[in-house]
Amino acid sequence: MSLFSSRIAPLSRSLDFCKIFKRTARRKPPINILLKETVEGVGNKAGYMRNVLLPRNKASYIQVYTRERQALEAGQHQREQADQLLVQLRALQEPLEFQRAVVPGTTGTFGSVTLEDVIDKLRKEFGISVDKHQIEFNTEGGKLKALGEYELVVKFPNLKKEEKLGIIVKATQ
């Protein structure tokens, strides 16, 4: 054995060179900001808020309580809008009527009544604006492809209520 290896061996046992240190990358907590106007290409580069957005008065820092208050106000506003929409839908006395050309010898139609048709008719004739995710067709593919009377459901998840709306598909004359 060499002189060098005999000297290192006792030192390595006494100094515990084999200890493993776990190192983790430290992530900075996210900074919550409120944009005062639309800013193109806002990314997550370090210092962008402090160096660009804040001096130009395009954004401001928000505290946790401010964020919670804004969330509560937004939820309350959504509930009020949903309540107004529910009242407007309940005011409709008659079902919505659509006319389509009929395939000879069957009750099938050449053009189907889609979700977009229902939303457009509600908006144009009654001034009611409904989100397409609130409406649920109980038919295959979400289209009405035959003559007859149908029923669709408008859901209000904020109010935990539903409103049924009648649809009649008639033949064109």
Any domain includes 117: yes
Number of domains in the chain: 1
Q: What is the pLDDT of residue 99?
A: 92
Under 8 Å between Cβ of 61 and 32: yes
Report if residue 74 sits inside a domain.
Answer: no
Q: What is the C-alpha separation between 29 and 77, in angstroms, rounded?
A: 30
Q: Does a structural domain hold residue 134?
A: yes
* Cα torsion angle, 165, 166, 171, 173, sign: negative
pLDDT at 30: 73
Q: Which two tokens stand for residue 121?
A: 């008719």
- Rounded average pLDDT per 10-residue block, the chain, 173 residues: 52 53 68 75 68 83 78 86 89 90 88 91 90 84 88 86 90 85
List, for residues 61-100, the tens digit of each pLDDT value.
877 777 788 888 888 888 898 889 889 888 888 899 999 9
Residue range(s) defining the domain that contains residue 136:
93-171
63 lies in some domain = no
- State the CATH number of the domain containing residue 129: 3.10.430.100
Within a domain: 151? yes
Structure tokens at 23: 């190192």
Distance, in Å, from the CA atom of 96 to the CA atom of 122, rounded to the nearest integer, reads 8
| 90, 154 Cβ separation under 8 angstroms | no
Residue 147 lies in a domain: yes
Complete DSSP assignment for 139-166? SGGG-EEESEEEEEEEEETTTTEEEEEE
Tell whether 38 is covered by a domain.
Answer: no
Pairing of strands 161-171, 148-156: antiparallel
Whether residue 82 is contained in a domain is answered as: no
